[in-house]
Amino acid sequence: MIAYIYDKPNLQIHTKIENVSCVDDNSDNGGKIVGDNMTAIFGQGSDFVILQSDTINLNAGDIIDISDLEDCRDYFLKSKEYWYMEQMNRQKELIEKLIKLQNNNL
């Protein structure tokens, strides 16, 4: 997974971490993200997004648009089991909607 840490006010990326292995998000004081030979510690003025794969391919200094990104931070903050269960529930809901749509069109 890939982490992008950015400034909250202007959405400018200041750190990109590949192969995230640990996330410690202390909302009151910031947080820490550990990845490939790198640890980033950030404060309250920053936020982050965890992506399953790097589909946006941005770098430090770029502006990130988080509106259409699926944040995977729950994989680290709640547990991978919880995250996988959320993924399965979303897929189930999508399948049910598609079946209903198909039945309405018959």
In angstroms, rounded to a whole number, what is the distance separating the alpha carbons of residues 62 and 16? 11
Pair 17, 38: CB distance under 8 Å: yes
3-state secondary structure of 50: strand
Task: Check pLDDT > 70 for residue 27.
Answer: no
Task: Check pLDDT > 90 for residue 104.
Answer: no
Going from the C-alpha of 27 to that of each of 20, 31, 38, 48, 100, the distances in angstroms are: 19, 7, 21, 11, 40
- Cα Rg of the chain, angstroms: 17
At residue 39 the predicted structure's pLDDT band, cuts being 50, 70 and 90, is very high
| Average pLDDT over every residue of 45-59 | 93
The structure's pTM equals: 0.80
